[in-house]
Each structure stands twice: as structure tokens, then as C-alpha cells.
Amino acid sequence: MKDKGQNTLPADVYLSFVSSLYGNRQTLFVGMISHVVTFSFVFAKTADPFFLAWSALIVLIWSLRAQAMRRFDRADKAALGMAGIRYWENWYNVGAVSTTLTLGTACCYSLIVSRDSFAEIACISVTLATMVSVVGRNYGSPRAVNYMVFAACFPIVIGFLGLQDFYHAVLASLVLPFAMTTRTMANGVRTFLYENVLAARELATIADRFDTALNNMPHGLFMLDADQRILVANRRACELLHLGSQERLKDCHLDVVLRYGVRNTFFNAEQSKAILRQLGELLRGERSRALVQVTDGLYLEFTAAPRENGGAVLIFEDVTARVRAEKKILHMVRYDTLTGLPNRTYFADLLQEALAERRKPGLVGFMVVDVDDFKHVNDMKGHVTGDRLLCAIAERLRRLAGDKVIVGRLMGDEFILFFPNETNRRDLEARMRRFHEQLRGSYDFDGVTVIVSFSAGCVTVASDAFRLEEMQIRADLALFETKSRAKGSVTVFEQEMDARYMDRQKLKDDLRQAIEDNALSVAYQPMFVPDGSRIECCEALSRWTHPERGPVAPNVFIQIAEEMGIVSEITRFMILRACADCATWPDHMGVSVNLSVQDLRGTGIVALVSEALETAGLAPHRLHLEVTESCLMEEPVKVQAVLQELRARGITIAIDDFGTGYSSLSYLDQLPLDVIKIDRSFVRNIGEDARRFKLLRGTVNLSRELGLRIVIEGVETQEQLALIRKYQCADLVQGYVFAAPMSPDALRDRFESLAARKAGETRRRGARVA
């Protein structure tokens, strides 16, 4: 390597070289003593005072050099720059060169002046011995080496040449290779040390960076040897495992560290063995990761990479937050958010696990439970109360189920239950009925008490024949039977229900086809003035005659249409047909069409009515649209907006079946109504029940105060009609007392006959007057 000048050295390396000049001061002292003793002996031999003076000079130079070295010790090395370092190098060089120059001068004097053989040998020997030490002591400064070699060797050469002898001249020429060799050796030592200093500094820098990176990485790290002893451990590893100082872990066996740590015990022997077994699997490549639960609040995930020498690098991190998040996500996936019960998917998994754990076949039960009139709770007390009720029901379900019944939430207000491990069908059914009985009753929460009943359908089957989808269909069929026949009870599935279900499904398909083929028809029930002399409006009623079953009751196929979500298609057919028929009637007659809840969930009904009126050329006020209270209770704000838009277009709005809901009177003031149709339940037995008749009259008087026209439905007897007429309870009367629903042709004949009768009466009155 080419020698580098001191100016090209890094400051810290330059300072280390200069500092080496001021080190090993005992060698200087030993050298000074050697020089003084040598010159003293020469003085004793030759009695030449020169050598005595030179001994004193050597002591003086040493003293000055020692003082300079003490000053160097007190200097602030960290504050030294290149100039300051060079200053101290120059000071050293002055002392070193002074010493060698003194020695070289003594050699020259002994050769030329003293000519004493002992003096010559002694001076040259001590000078050359000093030159040998230049390599080991002064390599740090190339200038010091150069100056000292010149200061020592040049006088010797002069002395040999001054003898003017061939042989001494040869000796003088040999001094030059000695000087060059000394200089080369010193430079070699300096270069070697320079390279090692740089390498050491680079290694220190790398080690410091590695140590910084190692101790600031978010993962814990153990480097293990082939015997699973810890060679390296970073700070994070000690923090995660509460192991204390890193230095104390070196050469400790991993098993000991995991079991006892340095300050406290947190793994038992079994845990430690399990972890070591998992780590062994990691090292053998049998698994990529190992998740370890250290405590309830700490999860660590380990990965391992084998080393060539049989050891391993073990890396682990705190994944507690991730595990908690995964558990939370898994809980959200598996459990219902509101009630905390297993959802349908996880319920199915739990059910399959329960079936798999059975040791022998037996009977199992499946039940679907529905909260009766839950919609009423939401409408009357608000959805927040409804949600809290569901949570209270879920809590009671959980308590009653214990660990013997699997319970889950299906949807809305429906819950599902699985009853395993029964051998007797009667006992199983009795158990399910008992569970249902314990579930019903009062629920108290947030100062609210709600009396709840449940309708349930259940099915029993052999455990090896259980299929969830099939059992749910059967339980739903049984639940449908419960709601239809004995609301609030439990119905066990029977095979006949399946046949009825298939029949109903067939009926649904036929209804859909009938709507597509326009196979429905319309019947009209007239609304008469109370004396029966004139028809002012007719209610359009849908009819369906099945090609095989014959006439299907409206309450049957309308309910089916609502279940299928196609009732709006029936509404479209009815409005278009009713408007077209009404356009052919006398101008004073209107037509009334019923709207369903589904019709009022959007604004499409407005466009449909506009289309029907425009197509038929019918005046808007002649079309009456009837809505029931059930329509008003679902999304009242949206329904009110739709009705207001219809009324603004001139459509007459009527409320149908008034009095059968829960809060009828509140709607009279809030909604844009023109007509109120009082339900038949107000008319029944008004001749015998004075209280009922007072209720009817009170409702009529209130409606009249609000400016509403009154239609009374379901008037069937002359006695009822007489009371209504006597007390002027109605503007229009609808019922069998006047006419049943009839075909369009029969209706035409009816209003034409009424018109002819009225014309005849008018002519007779005119003849009597004449």
C-alpha cells in the first residue's frame, strides 16, 4: 500500500498515531539511562570531558521531552484539529531528533577526534541500538523516522569518511542501506497498523450500527448455537419476555430462559416444552410460524431460520393487537352484532360439531322461535326499545339453553335452537314445549316491562338423518301453521305440512303466471248514498279464478302476492282497469282502489296513477286511493310524502278499515285525507249494543269536525241502515244491505236501473204537480 501523508489521514487515525509517539515512556527513560551510562563509561575510559557534557545534554533533552509529554497528557484531545495534532507531532519530533542528533554527533566525535576504539564501539553501538527502536516506537510519524534516521546516520557517515580510509568508507556506504531499511520497516509497520485501524474502525462502526439496528428493531431476536444456547439477544427480546439484562442471557440455554427468565417465572415446564417442540418444527421446516400465548394479555409469534453451523436465528414479535383484532373479526363473523348469539353460519358449525361428538345415534330437535307482534313494539316504543327487547330475549335464551341446547339468531325477531342427545320423541317434544313456555312472559329492562309471547315451529329427527336446510324448512312450515292457527304456541312438524307447503308453492307459481297473462279480473262493490237511490263510488276488488281450483279467495292470493313481493303488479293491473272502467260510468261516479304497503315504499305509484288517468281520460278526483292503517305505520314520513303528492294532483285519499289499528286518531290530523271508511266492526250489533253505537257516533262526529267524508263498510241489515240514516252517520254506505261485489256488466245494469227508476219518479212527481 502506498504510504499516506499525515494530511491525508482521518483526524482520529492521525491522533492515534501521534498518541502512540507519546506512549511507552518507560522506554525513553530506559534509553536515557543507557545513553548516560554509555557516555559515562566512555568518559571514564578516555577522560574526555566531551562525553561527560554529552551525558548531561542527554538528561536535559529527556527532561524537556518528559515535560512535553505531561503537557500532551493534559491537552483536550477531543478538541484537537489537524493543526493541533501536527503541533504535538512537531514537538515530539524536536525532542526525538535532538536525541538522535546527540547520539550521532557523539559517534562522529569518537571516530574523528577521540579515536579511542572503546569510545567508537560504545557510541556506534548505542546509536544503532536506538535506531532499531525507531521502528517500534516512532512508526506513527514518517517525518520523525526520516529526521531521526538522518540525524543519527549522517554524523556516523561523516565520521567514517573523515578517517579517509577505504575500509571505513565501505562502512560509511553500508550505513545507507541500514538507514533505508529502518525507514522502510517503520513505514511498513505504520501502513499495517493504519490498515488495521481503519478496518477496526469500520468494524466498530458496523458493529455499532448492527447493535443499534438490533436493539431498535420491533422484533425480539435470539441467535442460538447448535445446543440451543443463546449467543445474541436484543433488547426487544428481553422486554417482551421480561428477561432483564441482555448480557446475562449469553450462553444460557433457551429452555432455561423460557422457563425461568432472569427475574421472574412465566412459563411452566409444559409450556416451555411445547414452545421448544414448536421451535423444533420451525427449524425442521414443518411449520412456518408458531403462535404462543405467553399470558392472557400477550401473544408472541415466532419464526426461525436455521444457521449453517446447526444453530438458528429465532425472531418473535408481539402480535397481541393482531390476535385481538382477529378474534374481534372472528367474533363479528360468527356472532350476531346485536344479541351476541351465534349467527346462522356459526350455528351450523356448532351444530355439526355437536352431531360429530355423539357416540351413538339418537333423536335431535330443531326449533324456530318468532317473537309475536314484535313490529308493534318497534312502532309503539321505538326501535331502540325493540333492540333492547331482543337482547333481553337473547339473554334469557342463553340462560335457559346453558350448555345443553345450542341457540342462535336467525334474522330479525327469529331465533333457532338445537336440542341434542335425546332418545325418546315424546320427551324431546315435551322438552321443547317446556323451553318455549319458560321463554314467554314479561321482560324488564331500562324501566320498561314488555309481555312477550312466542310462536314456534319444531321438528324432531334421527341424528344421522339431520340436514340443517331441510330441518329449517320443516320448522318454518310448522311455525307458519302456528301463526295461522294458534299464535303464541308450538307446533311440531307433520308430513301433511310439507304437502300443504308444496301446494302453496304451486299456488305461488300459478299466481305469478296469472299476473303475467292478465288472468285476474275485477269486481266492484258499490257505495250508495244512505237512502240507496244512487251509487257515487265503487270499490274495485281483485278476483282470481284458478283454472283447476276455481275461485281463489282474495285474502289468500293477496297474502301470497305480498309474500312474493308482486302485490304492486296486482295494484298496477287494478288501477289501469278501474280507471278505464270508471271512464265509461256516469260523471258523478268514482272508483276506489286499495294500495298495499309495498305500493307506498317508493314514488312509482305516482307515475302509475298519472299514466292510468291520462290513458283513460279520467278526472283525478274520480279516483279514490284507499290505504290501511298498517300502511301508515310503516315508514310514516315516506307514506305521508307520497300521499301528499297524490292529493296535490287531485286524487281523493281515503283511509280504509278505520279503527282496526293502534293509533287511528293520530292519523286523521297528520295525513292528507279526504274520506274515512269506518270498519265493519263498528257497525256489528249496533242495534243491540248501545255502547258500540255511541262509539260509532263519536267517531263520525270527530271525522265531520275534521271535514272528512264518511263511508261505513259492512252494513248488512235494514236495522243497521235505519240507525245510520236516522242519526246521519254516513255520507255513503257500503255493504250487502245494498249490494255484494259484482261484475262490471252487473254494475252497469245496476246504476242504469237506478237512473231509470229516478227518471220515472221524476216524471211521476211532475205529473202530480201538473
pLDDT computed for residue 664 by the predictor: 54
Q: In the predicted model, what is the mean pLDDT of residues 189-216?
A: 71
SS3 string of 531-599? CCCCEEEEEEEEEEEECCCEEECHHHHHHHHHHHCCHHHHHHHHHHHHHHHHCCCCCCCEEEEECCCHH
Do 142 and 186 touch, CB atoms closer than 8 A?
yes
Task: Name 461's bridge partners.
Answer: 364
Q: In the predicted model, what is the mean pLDDT of residues 124-136?
A: 77
Residues 6 or more apart in contact with residue 616 via CB below 8 angstroms:
576, 579, 580, 582, 583
Percentage of the chain exceeding pLDDT 70? 91
Q: In the predicted model, what is the mean pLDDT of residues 216-245?
A: 80
Q: Which fold has domain 336-493?
A: Alpha-Beta Plaits (3.30.70)
Helix or strand or coil: residue 453? coil
pLDDT computed for residue 259 by the predictor: 66
* Cell representation of residue 308: 449453517
pLDDT computed for residue 264 by the predictor: 55
CATH number attached to the domain at 515-758: 3.20.20.450
Q: What is the DSSP letter of 114?
A: I
pLDDT above 90: residue 573: yes
Q: In the predicted model, what is the mean pLDDT of residues 494-523?
A: 86
Helix or strand or coil: residue 316? strand
Phi/psi at 454 (5° precision)? -130, 140
Strands 675-678 and 709-713, how do they pair? Answer: parallel
Do 609 and 570 touch, CB atoms closer than 8 A?
no
pLDDT computed for residue 581 by the predictor: 95
Helix or strand or coil: residue 404? coil
The span from the CA of 621 to the CA of 650, in Å, is: 5
Q: What pLDDT, in 10s, does the model give residues 698-757?
A: 888 888 888 899 999 999 999 999 999 998 999 999 999 999 999 999 999 998 898 888
Residues 6 or more apart in contact with residue 467 via CB below 8 angstroms:
none
The arrangement of strands across the sheet holding 406-411 comes to 406-411, 414-422, 363-371, 454-462, 490-492
pTM of the model: 0.51
Helix (H) or strand (E) holding 304: strand 298-306
Q: What pLDDT, in 10s, does the model give residues 94-111?
A: 888 888 888 888 888 888
Long-range contacts of 399-406 (CB under 8 A, 24+ apart): 400/435, 400/438, 400/439, 405/435, 406/342, 406/347, 406/350, 406/351, 406/354
**43-47, 103-107, 293-297, 404-408, range with the lowest pLDDT:** 293-297
Q: Ramachandran region of residue 537, left (φ > 0), alpha (ψ -120 to 50) or beta?
A: beta
Q: What pLDDT, in 10s, does the model give residues 372-399?
A: 888 888 877 888 888 899 999 999 999 9
pLDDT computed for residue 501 by the predictor: 74
From the list 159, 150, 56, the residue with the least C-alpha distance to 106 is: 159
Phi/psi at 159 (5° precision)? -65, -45
Do 201 and 12 touch, CB atoms closer than 8 A?
yes
Q: Which residue has the cell 275461485?
A: 551
Q: In the predicted model, what is the mean pLDDT of residues 288-312?
A: 77
From the list 582, 584, 574, 520, the residue with the least C-alpha distance to 547 is: 520
pLDDT above 60: residue 634: yes
Q: Read off the pLDDT band of 291 (50, 70, 90).
A: confident
Helix (H) or strand (E) holding 118: helix 117-137
Q: 217-325: CATH homologous superfamily?
A: PAS domain (3.30.450.20)
The span from the CA of 484 to the CA of 140, in Å, is: 109
Other CB atoms within 10 A of residue 578 CB:
26
DSSP codes of every residue in 159-184: HHHHTT-HHHHHHHHHHHHHHHHHHH
Q: What pLDDT, in 10s, does the model give residues 595-621?
A: 988 888 877 899 999 999 999 999 999
The span from the CA of 534 to the CA of 551, in Å, is: 30
Q: Read off the pLDDT band of 667 (50, 70, 90).
A: low
pLDDT computed for residue 545 by the predictor: 92
> Greatest CA span in the chain, whole angstroms?
193
**353-362, 437-446, 507-516, range with the lowest pLDDT:** 353-362
Q: Which residue has the cell 279503527?
A: 659
* Cell representation of residue 760: 220515472
Do 579 and 612 touch, CB atoms closer than 8 A?
yes
Q: What pLDDT, in 10s, does the model give residues 754-766?
A: 888 887 777 777 6
Q: What is the DSSP letter of 251?
A: T
pLDDT computed for residue 262 by the predictor: 41
